[in-house]
């Protein structure tokens, strides 16, 4: 028998996450896949993996993340929501009285302040991606260690060194300098975690009132040393939810359930798109000096989405609502 589920998809810069949630808001299946710059392929692959895990009747679909428009038109989602809203909904679901959410993802980091389950304030990192997951990723690669082992090794440190965390370029030169002095690997890694936390608290979380319970989520929360560094800096206990790595997808599947309950029926395109040939085409429009880059996405032969123009004329042609 087909099991009834809601599907949540979070297409991020680094990972694409899938969640299947039952009608009681419990996660039945979850997937954490690397986007590797190919969001369409990874969406198809994810759906395929999900069909291998069982038979599903999808009652509703929600999408979030920086690739949400793309995923939304591909899956014909019921809800397309930004990451802040999705993450706060999921955090409230996991820890109902949560007041602060620290979220660090691949290319962005954010803080969400909630009061009485309503977002009261939020902030995201500004122009630069320093202090996000990709920073740790890069440094781990440079030190030739697996990102998965990062936290474990850092936790063995007894005396973390001080590393400048304001900018990745400075951090790297600082790190090399400390290495050459003979500082041990764990101390450098733990120092990096502390630098990142310092950077986060001084930039993203500047001036925000951080009250407990504090929830730490996003891909970087897998790093135990980061949790410890946060707790030391804040002097507060932080909790990492069970599904910390798929919180965006979880949040948006809850939103999908709410939306479908309101409107009655899902618009989900079905699992058939797994084998469809999805093609994208990019061209530069020369109708005005803006030279917008237009992206056209087709499923088999039919156009399913088109965007990129400032004037909006291509969006009108494809007739999609953003």
Partner 1 sequence: MAKTVGIPRALYYHYYYPLWQKYLSNLGFQTIVSSPTSKQTIDWGVSLAVEGTCLPVKVYYGHVCELVEKGVDYLFIPQIISVSKREYICPKFMGLPDMVKASISKQVKLLSPTIDGRKSERQITKTYIQFGLQFAPWHKVLRAYGEATKVQREYEERLKRECNLEKDMARLTVGVLGHSYLLYDKTISMNLLERLTAAKIRVVTPEQFKPNLVNEHANRLPKRMFWTSGRKILGTLNYLLDRRNVEQIDGVISLAAFGCGTDSLTSELVAQIARKQNLPYLLLNLDEHTGEAGLVTRIEAYLDMLERRKYA
Contact positions vs partner 1 (CB under 8 A): 66, 81-85, 108, 116, 118-122, 124, 126-127, 207, 288-292, 310
Q: How far is the CB of 184 from partner 1 (least distance, A)?
A: 38
Sheet holding 302-307, edge to edge: 278-284, 293-299, 302-307
Q: How far is the CB of 309 from partner 1 (least distance, A)?
A: 11
Residue carrying the six token digits 């996991």: 94
Bridge partners for 3 per DSSP: 56
Q: How far is the CB of 307 from partner 1 (least distance, A)?
A: 10
Helix (H, G, I), strand (E, B) or coil at 230: helix
For residues 6 and 122, which CB has a smaller minimum distance to partner 1 in the complex? 122
Bridge partners for 20 per DSSP: 7, 29
Q: What is the chain's Cα-based Rg?
A: 21
For residues 53 and 128, which CB has a smaller minimum distance to partner 1 in the complex? 128
CB–CB of 128/155 below 8 Å?
no
Q: How far is the CB of 118 from partner 1 (least distance, A)?
A: 5
CB–CB of 234/213 below 8 Å?
no
Bridge partners for 4 per DSSP: 57
Q: How far is the CB of 65 from partner 1 (least distance, A)?
A: 9
CB–CB of 61/10 below 8 Å?
no
* Helix H or strand E encompassing 247: helix 247-263
For residues 128 and 317, which CB has a smaller minimum distance to partner 1 in the complex? 128
Backbone torsions φ then ψ of 48, nearest 5 degrees: -65, -45
Q: How far is the CB of 318 from partner 1 (least distance, A)?
A: 17
For residues 59 and 111, which CB has a smaller minimum distance to partner 1 in the complex? 111
Q: How far is the CB of 265 from partner 1 (least distance, A)?
A: 24
For residues 212 and 308, which CB has a smaller minimum distance to partner 1 in the complex? 308
Backbone torsions φ then ψ of 305, nearest 5 degrees: -155, 155
Q: Please name the residues in contact with 88: beta carbons below 8 A apart, sequence gap of 6 or more.
A: 101, 112, 114, 119, 122, 251
For residues 13 and 168, which CB has a smaller minimum distance to partner 1 in the complex? 13
CB–CB of 264/100 below 8 Å?
no
For residues 38 and 290, which CB has a smaller minimum distance to partner 1 in the complex? 290
Indicate the Cα dihedral angle 37, 312, 110, 257, nearest 10°: -90
Q: Please name the residues in contact with 117: beta carbons below 8 A apart, sequence gap of 6 or more.
A: 92, 96
Q: How far is the CB of 88 from partner 1 (least distance, A)?
A: 9
For residues 130 and 229, which CB has a smaller minimum distance to partner 1 in the complex? 130
């Amino acid at each position: 028998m087909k099991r009834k589920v809601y599907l949540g998809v979070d297409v991020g810069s680094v990972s694409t996450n899938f969640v299947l949630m039952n009608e009681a808001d419990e996660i039945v299946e979850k997937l954490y896949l690397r986007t590797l710059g190919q969001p369409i392929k990874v969406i198809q692959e994810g759906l395929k993996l999900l069909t291998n895990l069982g038979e599903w009747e999808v009652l509703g679909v929600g999408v979030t993340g920086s690739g949400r428009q793309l995923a939304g038109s591909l899956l014909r989602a019921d809800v397309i929501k930004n990451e802040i809203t999705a993450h706060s909904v999921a955090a409230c679901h996991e820890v109902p009285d949560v007041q602060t959410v620290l979220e660090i993802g691949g290319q962005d980091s954010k803080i969400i302040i909630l009061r009485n389950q309503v977002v009261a304030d939020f902030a995201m990192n500004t122009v630069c991606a320093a202090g996000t997951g990709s920073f740790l990723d890069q440094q781990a690669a440079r030190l030739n260690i697996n990102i998965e082992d990062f936290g474990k090794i850092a936790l063995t440190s007894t005396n973390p060194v001080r590393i400048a965390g304001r900018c990745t370029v400075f951090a790297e030169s600082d790190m090399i300098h400390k290495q050459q002095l003979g500082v041990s690997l764990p101390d450098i890694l733990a120092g990096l975690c502390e630098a990142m936390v310092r950077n986060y608290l001084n930039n993203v979380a500047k001036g925000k009132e951080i009250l407990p319970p504090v929830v730490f989520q996003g891909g970087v929360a897998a790093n135990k040393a980061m949790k410890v560094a946060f707790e030391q800096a804040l002097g507060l206990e932080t909790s990492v939810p069970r599904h910390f790595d798929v919180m965006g997808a979880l949040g948006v599947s809850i939103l999908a359930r709410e939306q479908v309950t309101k409107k009655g029926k899902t618009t989900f395109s079905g699992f058939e798109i797994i084998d469809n040939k999805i093609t994208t085409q990019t061209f530069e429009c020369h109708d005005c000096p803006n030279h917008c880059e237009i992206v056209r996405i087709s499923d088999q032969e039919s156009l399913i989405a088109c965007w990129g123009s400032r004037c909006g004329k291509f969006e009108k042609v494809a007739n999609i609502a953003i």
